[in-house]
Amino acid sequence: MIQPYDDTYFMKQALQEAQLAAEEGEVPVGAVVVCNNRILARAHNQTERLNDVTAHAEMLAITAATNVLGAKYLTGCTLYVTVEPCVMCAGAIGWAQLAAVVYGAPDAKRGFTRYAPQALHPKTVVRQGVMETECAEAMQRFFQERR
């Protein structure tokens, strides 16, 4: 049976957000929050635009999703993000009690798995490497163009 809404589909949506970030001169990280195969929120990095170091794609997507649901917890929801979340975002993911986090490219320098692997809620499932090549290439292109 073909599943039109799978991890690849939703990661492509997050990659579209990452592209928007790159077009705005932001580090190209995109995120979507999904519940019952429905995208509740989309976001991309806006640290430059908002002059706010906390305006990461994950943080903005979590805030938007909780506003849509009218609740502070996102149990039963999945966050798709193009790059492994940082420690700050992992903390927010943990507090929001997301059911799952799916990310594309690892972040060896700032990723939560290196510095705070216990930051997520104990029940949160992590799936990594979804469209890893495409996600990593988006980051590489962005930084190569700035050098």
* Residues 50, 18 contacting (CB under 8 angstroms): no
C-alpha count within 13 angstroms, C-beta hemisphere, residue 25:
4
Residue numbers annotated as active site:
58
